[in-house]
Structure 1
Amino acid sequence: MSRLLILSAGAILALTSAAPAMASTAPAMQPLKISKECSQYTGDTPSFCTITESNLAAIPAGTKIFYYGPVTGSPLFSSSAAVITVGNGDSAVGYCVVYDTASPPLGTCAFHAGSGTLAGFQAVVKVTVDDKQIWHWDGGYLLGAAK
């Protein structure tokens, strides 16, 4: 029994000491800053917002972000599949949750896949809105072949 405990403790110690090494091999995320206006967002499925500014050339101003629900019209929050559609097969898919009852509204979006110029796109962004009703995404991204 004590031999099993020693072996288990040794295995746990080996895994814990390897964790920082594995984490350090993760690619560095690049900063992502996007602003969008949502004057045409209706809450219907799909609804969309239009990007007005982006620091990522692969997602230029004028790009639409479509929201497919399941929750797009609640006064409390939205919880939705999101698709960034640049055009010509260039797109990225993810999921957003925004707490509309927060003051100001606050949320998170995470993107896990893309195609065309957005192949391998992964991102995690904080969602905020300013007093001019411009929505902001601030976070980080990876772009390239997914592994």
Structure 2
Amino acid sequence: MSRLLILSAGAILALASVASAAPAMQPLKISKECSQYTGQTPSFCTITESNLAAIPAGTKILYYGPVTGSSLFGSSTTVIAVGNGDTAVGYCVTYDTASPMQGTCAFHAGSGTLAGFQAVVKVTVDDKQIYHWDGGYLLGADEAAK
């Protein structure tokens, strides 16, 4: 019986150390304007500010649907297209008729300078129609593989 307790305690400690070894996400803050967003596939917005050098101002965020033209909500595969093969892929869902508007985007893969990119952000919009992504990210193939 005592051997079983010792083995169980050892397994719990091993799992706890694996869970604590997860890499810490870094803060991500991005602002974008969507004056050229049409609701067609793809539609895009343009980043105006970013605290991540790998995703500079001027970067396009492309939305591929399936739902890009609804006035109620958006549901879309999303690509951050920096250029020269530097991209990140994820999915965004927004509740556009909520007061205030709200949403979430999660990114799970990247290429080029965004290799290993993972992020989860909360989406909001201000009274000037500037959209804000606030959350956290991991960057780099080594970090994503941990």
TM-score (norm 1): 0.89
Moved more, 43-52 or 12-21: 12-21
- 2:83: which partner in 1? 87
Task: Say which of 51, 56, 59 aligns to 1:60.
Answer: 56
* Equivalent residue pairs, number: 142
- 2:40: which partner in 1? 44
Paired amino acid for 1:75: S
Paired amino acid for 1:52: T
Paired amino acid for 1:56: L
**Deviations, residues 63-122 of structure 1 (Å, cap 9, x unaligned):** 000000000111111000000000000000000000011112100000000000000000
Deviation for aligned residue 1:12: 7.6
Q: Distance in 2 between matches of 1:55 and 1:76?
A: 30
Task: Say which of 15, 19, 24 aligns to 1:23.
Answer: 19
TM-score (norm 2): 0.89
Superposed counterparts of 1:91-130, under 5 Å: 91-130=87-126
- 1:138: which partner in 2? 134
- The residue matched to 2:17 in structure 1 has which SS? helix
Paired amino acid for 1:74: S
**What stretches of structure 2 of length at least 5 have no aligned partner?**
none
Paired amino acid for 1:135: Y
- The residue matched to 1:117 in structure 2 has which SS? helix
Q: Distance in 1 between matches of 2:7 and 2:77?
A: 40
Report the aligned-residue RMSD.
1.9
Paired amino acid for 1:99: Y
- 1:34: which partner in 2? 30
**Deviations, residues 22-53 of structure 1 (Å, cap 9, x unaligned):** 22100010000000000001111000000000
Deviation for aligned residue 1:20: 2.9
Deviation for aligned residue 1:19: 3.8
